[in-house]
Amino acid sequence: MSQLNNTDSTFQQPHIVHCPDGVVPGHLITKDKRREIHGVIAGGAGSTNPEKLQRQQIIQGTGIPCSKTNIRINLRTKTLHDIAHPNKQIDGFDYTEDFDGVQMIHGKQIYINLKCIVGKGGSQTRSLREVYGFVEGQLNVIKTSNQTTVFFANILDGDESHAVLPKFEYLRSLPEFTNEKKFVYVGDLKGYFEWFKQMFVEE
């Protein structure tokens, strides 16, 4: 079932949106810097540490909860669905990963994808290519639904994420997405707060 009209009046409204102290610009997060901030990442509980910190800083900087969600995109139908285990279904591969969080403000939803990808290598390239397809799916959801209440934010920290941001800007700037690109943020966490202010706070 499509989830384009979710609202929740319990979410507070932000008063002052700011970039919290301690947010490191995405391009400065190298493999060594990530280890310094989060400790060992590979496997186990430590692999979720970057996402946990990003979520904490989003809440701190916006004053709005960033709740976990099972919402994901069906790439075939170009719609959002609340589904926890799509691979139990025959069409499971039609679905993207789920979003890592959702924020709600003024009756609008911001579905958030959190990543911290550092260093060059085949694994990093595969991960970022998956994100690229995910972002294209987001643009297609906006285009197909023709609505103005759903936004997407792809927070891509890490030096390798920063290195490929021009590819994402190319995607957002394609002629078929002229009207949709403003609904989809792609950039580091530091830039998210400025985008948030421009889209949801400043008149």
Q: Round to whole Å and give the CA distance between 161 and 182.
A: 20
Is 190 a domain residue? yes
167 with 129: CB under 8 angstroms? no
The whole-number pLDDT of residue 39 equals: 77
Is 155 a domain residue? yes
- pTM: predicted TM-score of the whole model, two decimal places: 0.90
- Per-residue confidence band for 38, with pLDDT thresholds at 50, 70 and 90: confident
Is 58 a domain residue? yes
Amino acid at 134: F
Check whether 91 has a pLDDT greater than 50: yes
pLDDT tens profile 148-202 = 999 999 999 999 999 999 999 999 999 999 999 999 999 999 999 999 999 998 6
The predicted model gives 10-32 an average pLDDT of 82
Is 19 a domain residue? no
Check whether 6 has a pLDDT greater than 50: no
The whole-number pLDDT of residue 123 equals: 94
pLDDT tens profile 110-148 = 999 999 999 999 999 999 999 999 999 999 999 999 889
Share of the chain above pLDDT 70, in %: 88
Q: Name the residue range of residue 166's domain.
A: 26-201
**CA end-to-end span of the chain, whole Å?**
33
Q: How many domains does the chain have?
A: 1
Is 31 a domain residue? yes
66 with 59: CB under 8 angstroms? yes
Is 57 a domain residue? yes
Is 30 a domain residue? yes
Q: Choose between 5 and 199: higher pLDDT.
A: 199
Is 20 a domain residue? no
